[in-house]
Chains A and B, each alone.
Chain A
Amino acid sequence: MTFFLQLAITGLALGMMYALIAIGFVIIFKCSQAFNIAQGHFVMLGGYLGYTFLAVLHLPVWLSIIAVIAVAVVAGGVIERLALRPLVGQPVLAVIMMTIALAGVLEGIAILLWGGEYKTYHDVLPAITLNLGAISIPPESLIGLIVSTIVVTLLMLMFRYTKIGLAMRATAEDEQVTRGAGIRATMVYALAWIIAAVVGVVGGVLLGGVSGVSIAMSEIGLKALAVVILGGLDSIGGAIFAGLMLGIMENLAAGYLDPLMPSGGGLAGVFPFIVMILVLMIKPHGLFGLKRIERV
């Protein structure tokens, strides 16, 4: 039972991380119908930025967070303006390829700036391990859980109650209508990218504290895409639910099924993809996706 609970709780923390990354993706998709494959690269960028500010420049934590977010705001804005805006009206594949190419550029830049080496900056975040009986929750996971929850709540509130949130939701549904109503779509797109970048780097700073920073960090973005598919492309609630679900399932699968595998596991890495392809076979629009009727 302890084993089970330990796995479940670790999965929960991991799932919240997935959800955080998935939300960045969903926001961009909702607002501009663009699929941002590079979301995982924002996470990687966040990790390296966290490393730079915390471990190299030794800034205090709060200042580092502000600095990281500032860089993300600029990066998100610049990427939207230079790379995505010229593609408005182009087919879906063009936008997808653009974000993939962006992923390549971001990764390349990270390699040029920071080298391909593994970096760590742990022991910067407060160490508050929570022990529930025999189960222990690592502080980074705990902080991750708290931060993700705060970020998600803030975003939800923003979408629900602010004018800009209304504009973003409206643009997500019908760009022509909203532009006709005087809402500047470009502003909404830029904002979506900025929010996604910020959410991504915040996730990266958290993750970097847990497992160190490396180029491979962006791989978590691919898993988050499985979360996105599962939750439905345009549902934030779906992303959270699917993130938590996948995080927990992945951990349980690794814990209980790995030893049964012919060559010892690695199931955690592939599990989200297996779940995703199964779900796609049964529900082609994910579990919570809006089904859009296609007009002939």
Chain B
Amino acid sequence: MDNIEAAYLGVIRVLHGVSLEVGDGKIVALIGANGGGKTTTLKAISGLLSTEQGQIRSGEILLDDKRIDRLAPEAIAKMGISQVMEGRHVLEHLTVEENLRVGAYRRSDRAGVKADLEQVYTYFPRIREYRKRVSGYLSGGEQQMLVIGRALMADPRLMLLDEPSLGLAPIMVREIFDIIKRINEERGVAMLLVEQNVKAALGIADHGYVMENGKIVLDEPADRLRDNEDVKEFYMGISAGGSRKNYRELKHYRRRKRWLS
């Protein structure tokens, strides 16, 4: 993804020259403050931006050197990119299994679908019990599992995960992240993870980007980001040496940020 500028309604510019890269089979975390353009970035990749009167003004998005930034979301999905949207978009009035089948809609290999269905149930044994149940009645965590499972059913190469931990209990967050890691390791699916829970995200990611106001301000391997003082301070709520943040440090960060961008 290179130098993307995106805007809503042709006026509201959200992304200003964002460039990022997700390697094969890697987990990349995209972190940053609210309204920074993280979700927009994901939607730009998956093509859903166009369904919200948004558009990519310039730049290009490549998947294996093929440009996908002009394609419809359906076509992008077909190329193996599958998005898990923020806020658990389960299809409430469909049963759990129907939800999963929607994920596998574009696939024609019946055997593969069946095997993947089984695998999803192995990853998330909890939702197996509810397979015939209308999914609107699942708990928040189960719904999150379901949507991840649904994205998985498309047999994707790249999964875009938008805030999978939102509104979940800490224990559930851990469970979800463990499974994300597992999926990544067992199936070799690349992941682009947008997360507020920076600690958890960087815990499983290989690489991380920090985004501010539609720009990438930091771009480093995950372990180095984890140790970055600014990241710690502003996104994880831990400041160096436990001291309270002060104005000078804030200024220092702003300066640094501007310099970087």
Chain A residues near B91: list those with CB within 8 A: 169-170, 173-174, 177-178
* Contact digits for B51-82, partner A, Cβ 8 Å, 1 yes 0 no: 11100000000000000000011100110001
B94 touches A182 (CB 8 A): no
CA distance A184 to B48 in the complex (A): 12
B102 touches A181 (CB 8 A): yes
Is A58 an interface residue when CB atoms closer than 8 A count as contact?
no
- For chain B, which range describes its interface: under 10, 10 to 19, 20 to 34, or 35 or more residues? 20 to 34
Chain A residues near B92: list those with CB within 8 A: 173
Is A14 an interface residue when CB atoms closer than 8 A count as contact?
no
Chain A residues near B215: list those with CB within 8 A: none
B51 touches A184 (CB 8 A): no
Is B142 an interface residue when CB atoms closer than 8 A count as contact?
no
B48 touches A176 (CB 8 A): yes
Is B154 an interface residue when CB atoms closer than 8 A count as contact?
yes
Given A166-B101, A170-B94, A174-B91; A183-B106 close (CB under 8 Å): yes
Is A94 an interface residue when CB atoms closer than 8 A count as contact?
no
Chain B residues near A182: list those with CB within 8 A: 74, 77-78, 105-106, 154
CA distance A8 to B52 in the complex (A): 49
Is B199 an interface residue when CB atoms closer than 8 A count as contact?
no
User: Nearest CB to that of B77 among chain A residues?
Assistant: A182
A176 touches B106 (CB 8 A): no
Q: Which of A166-224 contact B (CB under 8 A)?
A: 166-167, 169-170, 173-185
B77 touches A166 (CB 8 A): no
A179 touches B98 (CB 8 A): no
User: Nearest CB to that of A187 among chain B residues?
Assistant: B74
Q: Which of A155-173 contact B (CB under 8 A)?
A: 163, 166-167, 169-170, 173
CA distance A95 to B91 in the complex (A): 24
Say how far A127's CB is from chain B's closest CB, in angstroms: 43
Chain B residues near A176: list those with CB within 8 A: 48, 51, 73, 85, 89
Is A264 an interface residue when CB atoms closer than 8 A count as contact?
no
* Contact digits for B84-126, partner A, Cβ 8 Å, 1 yes 0 no: 0100010111100010011101100000000000000000000
Is B150 an interface residue when CB atoms closer than 8 A count as contact?
yes
Is A146 an interface residue when CB atoms closer than 8 A count as contact?
no
Say how far B90's CB is from chain A's closest CB, in angstroms: 8
Is B184 an interface residue when CB atoms closer than 8 A count as contact?
no
User: Nearest CB to that of A179 among chain B residues?
Assistant: B73
Say how far A93's CB is from chain B's closest CB, in angstroms: 17
CA distance A143 to B102 in the complex (A): 37
Is A261 an interface residue when CB atoms closer than 8 A count as contact?
no
| Main secondary structure on A side of the interface with B | helix
Given A167-B102, A176-B48, A176-B89; A181-B150 close (CB under 8 Å): yes
Is B196 an interface residue when CB atoms closer than 8 A count as contact?
no
CA distance A290 to B134 in the complex (A): 14
User: Nearest CB to that of B79 among chain A residues?
Assistant: A182
A89 touches B53 (CB 8 A): yes
B94 touches A169 (CB 8 A): yes
Q: Which of A208-264 contact B (CB under 8 A)?
A: none
Given A166-B101, A167-B102, A170-B102; A179-B93 close (CB under 8 Å): no
* Contact digits for B146-169, partner A, Cβ 8 Å, 1 yes 0 no: 000010001000000000000000
Say how far A292's CB is from chain B's closest CB, in angstroms: 10
User: Nearest CB to that of B99 among chain A residues?
Assistant: A170
Given A166-B98, A169-B94, A178-B102; A184-B74 close (CB under 8 Å): yes
B77 touches A173 (CB 8 A): no
B77 touches A180 (CB 8 A): yes
A183 touches B94 (CB 8 A): no
Say how far B160's CB is from chain A's closest CB, in angstroms: 9
Say how far B151's CB is from chain A's closest CB, in angstroms: 8
User: Nearest CB to that of B48 among chain A residues?
Assistant: A176
A180 touches B98 (CB 8 A): no
A174 touches B89 (CB 8 A): yes
A180 touches B105 (CB 8 A): no
CA distance A175 to B72 in the complex (A): 13
CA distance A182 to B154 in the complex (A): 9
A180 touches B94 (CB 8 A): no
User: Nearest CB to that of A183 among chain B residues?
Assistant: B105
A181 touches B51 (CB 8 A): no
B106 touches A180 (CB 8 A): no
Say how far A236's CB is from chain B's closest CB, in angstroms: 12
Chain A residues near B98: list those with CB within 8 A: 166, 169-170
CA distance A183 to B72 in the complex (A): 11
11 A-B contacts (beta carbon < 8 Å): A166-B102, A167-B102, A169-B91, A169-B93, A176-B51, A176-B89, A179-B51, A180-B46, A180-B83, A182-B154, A183-B105
Known: A179-B77, A181-B77, A182-B154. 15 other contacts (CB 8 A): A163-B101, A163-B105, A169-B98, A170-B102, A173-B94, A176-B51, A176-B89, A178-B102, A178-B105, A180-B73, A180-B85, A181-B105, A181-B150, A183-B102, A183-B106
Binding site for B on A (CB under 8 A): 88-89, 163, 166-167, 169-170, 173-185, 290
Q: Which 10 A-B pairs have the closest CB atoms?
A: A182-B106, A182-B77, A179-B73, A173-B91, A170-B102, A177-B89, A184-B74, A180-B83, A174-B89, A183-B105
